[in-house]
């Protein structure tokens, strides 16, 4: 076991949580991510292997599917991101690779991203100050990639109206948090 101490995208040893105006913005560093993209001509085999590994089918366009311990969301044609708890799945990419074999290309994405969860009753009012997504039309399981405060982010609706994940570039975690907090203050 190595002895290097991880830090969160916001440079903390523990995740940062802000409660403002009835809204909760939490840094969620405890998720491992791996992208999986099916190889040309192996789309069905890749989907089957992934489904077997996940316990559910890879989601459709612009959707996120969840069944503990995994979640998976669509990134692009024939490409998905798989989420799993970091504690138990730090080697998620290796696990997925083992599962899909030569049917798909798997890439570790865990630390490419920072995930903020936005929870509370004013999610729509906050997000409408940040991105062009019509969040009111997003139900649980809707997932899309868009621009948020000049950053390319995934926006995933975990619970209709009250819980969204914003997954953005890790190196800009500070800027992203700043944008979220400012929007929450303005909208609530």
Partner 1 sequence: MTYTNRADGSQINQPTARAQTGAHSGKTQVNRLAGGQIDQQSSINFSFDGKQYQGHPGDTLASALLANNVRLMARSFKYHRPRGVLTSDSAEPNALVELRTGARQEPNTRATTAELFDGLVAKSQNRSPSLKYDFMAINDRFSNFLTAGFYYKTFMWPVSFWEKIYEPIIRKAAGLGSLSLEEDPDEYDKGFLHCDLLVVGGGPSGLSAALTAGRAGAQVILADEDYLFGGRLNGETFGIGEQSGQDWVAATVAELHSLPNVRCMSRTTVNGAYDHGIYSAVERVSDHLPVPPEGKPRQILWRIYSKRTLLCAGAIERPIAFENNDRPGIMLASAMRDYANRWAVTAAHKVAIFTNNDDGHRTAVDLIAKGVKVAAVIDTRADAPRIADCELLAGAQVIDTSGRLGLKFIKVRLADGSERSIECGALGVSGGWNPNVHMTCHQRGRPIWNEQISAFVPGEDSIPGMTVAGAANGDFSTAAALETGSAQAVAALGDLGIKTSKIDLPQAEDAPVNIQPFWHVRHGKGRAWLDQQNDVTVKDVKLAHQENYRSVEHLKRYTTLGMATDQGKTSNMGGLAIMAELTGQSIPETGTTIFRPPYSPVAMGTWGGRARGKDFHPVRETPSHKWALENGASFVEVGNWLRVQWFSQPGETHWRESVDREVRAVRASVGVCDVTTLGKIDIQGTDAAPFLNTVYANAFAKLAVGKTRYGLMLREDGNAMDDGTTARLSEHHFVMTTTTANAVEVYRHMEFVRQCLFPDMDVQLISTTEAWAQYAVAGPNSRKLLQKIVDPEFDLSNEGFEFMACREITVCGGLRARLFRISFSGELAYEIAVPTRYGDALFRRIMEAGKEFDVVAYGTEALGVMRIEKGHAAGNELNGTITALNLGMGRMVSKKKDSIGSTMSEREGMNLPDALNMVGFKPVNSADKVTAGGHLMTKGTPVDAEHDQGYVTSACYSPILNSSIGLGFLKDGANRMGEIVSLVSPVTNLNVDVEVVNPQFVDPEGVRVRA
Partner 2 sequence: MIINHPLLGPRDAQEFTFLGSASLIDRPDWQAEDALEQFSDYTYLRNDTGGENRELWFHEAGDRSWLVVTRNTFTHEITNVEMASDVARARGRSK
Number of residues that bind partner 2 (CB under 8 A): 12
User: Which 3 state secondary structure label does DSSP give 186?
Assistant: helix
Q: Which helix (DSSP H) or strand (DSSP E) does residue 52 occupy?
A: helix 43-54
Stretch that binds partner 1, among 34-42, 54-62, 65-73, 157-165 (CB under 8 A): 34-42
Give the whole-angstrom CA distance, residue 153 versus residue 12.
22
Minimum distance, C-beta of residue 116 to partner 1, in the bound complex (Å): 14
Minimum distance, C-beta of residue 42 to partner 1, in the bound complex (Å): 8
Give the whole-angstrom CA distance, residue 169 versus residue 145.
12
Residue 110's binding partner among partner 2, partner 1, none (Cβ under 5 to 8 angstroms by kind) is partner 1
Stretch that binds partner 2, among 42-50, 103-111, 122-130, 140-148 (CB under 8 A): 140-148
Question: DSSP strand E in the chain: where?
Answer: 17-20, 23-27, 31-38, 64-67, 70-76, 79-85, 104-108, 113-119, 143-148, 151-159, 163-169
Stretch that binds partner 2, among 14-22, 48-56, 71-79, 178-186 (CB under 8 A): 71-79
Minimum distance, C-beta of residue 18 to partner 1, in the bound complex (Å): 13
Nearer to partner 1, 57 or 102 (CB): 102
Both tokens of residue 135? 């969040």
User: Which 3 state secondary structure label does DSSP give 77?
Assistant: coil
* Radius of gyration, CA atoms only, the chain: 17
Neighbours of 11 (CB within 10 A): 9
22, 55, 101, 112: which one binds partner 1 (CB under 8 A) = 112
Give the whole-angstrom CA distance, residue 114 versus residue 168.
5
Minimum distance, C-beta of residue 151 to partner 2, in the bound complex (Å): 9
Number of residues that bind partner 1 (CB under 8 A): 54
Minimum distance, C-beta of residue 120 to partner 2, in the bound complex (Å): 26
Residue 165's binding partner among partner 1, partner 2, none (Cβ under 5 to 8 angstroms by kind) is none
22, 76, 101, 174: which one binds partner 2 (CB under 8 A) = 76
């Amino acid at each position: 076991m190595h002895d290097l101490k991880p830090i969160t995208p916001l440079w903390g040893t523990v995740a940062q949580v802000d409660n403002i105006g009835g809204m909760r913005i939490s840094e969620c560093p405890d998720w491992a991510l791996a992208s999986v993209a099916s190889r040309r001509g192996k789309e069905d085999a890749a989907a089957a292997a992934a489904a077997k590994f996940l316990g559910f089918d890879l989601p459709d366009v612009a959707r996120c599917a969840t069944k503990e311990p995994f979640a998976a969301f669509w990134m692009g044609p024939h490409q998905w991101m798989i989420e799993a708890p970091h504690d138990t799945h730090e080697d998620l990419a290796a696990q997925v690779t083992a599962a899909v074999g030569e049917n798909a290309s798997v890439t570790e994405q865990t630390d490419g991203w920072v995930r903020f969860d936005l929870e509370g009753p004013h999610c729509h009012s906050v997000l409408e100050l940040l991105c062009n997504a019509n969040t009111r039309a997003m139900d649980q399981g809707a997932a899309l990639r868009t621009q948020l405060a000049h950053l390319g982010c995934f926006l995933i609706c975990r619970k209709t109206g009250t819980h969204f994940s914003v997954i953005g570039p890790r190196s800009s975690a500070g800027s992203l948090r700043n944008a979220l907090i400012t929007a929450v203050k303005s909208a609530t």
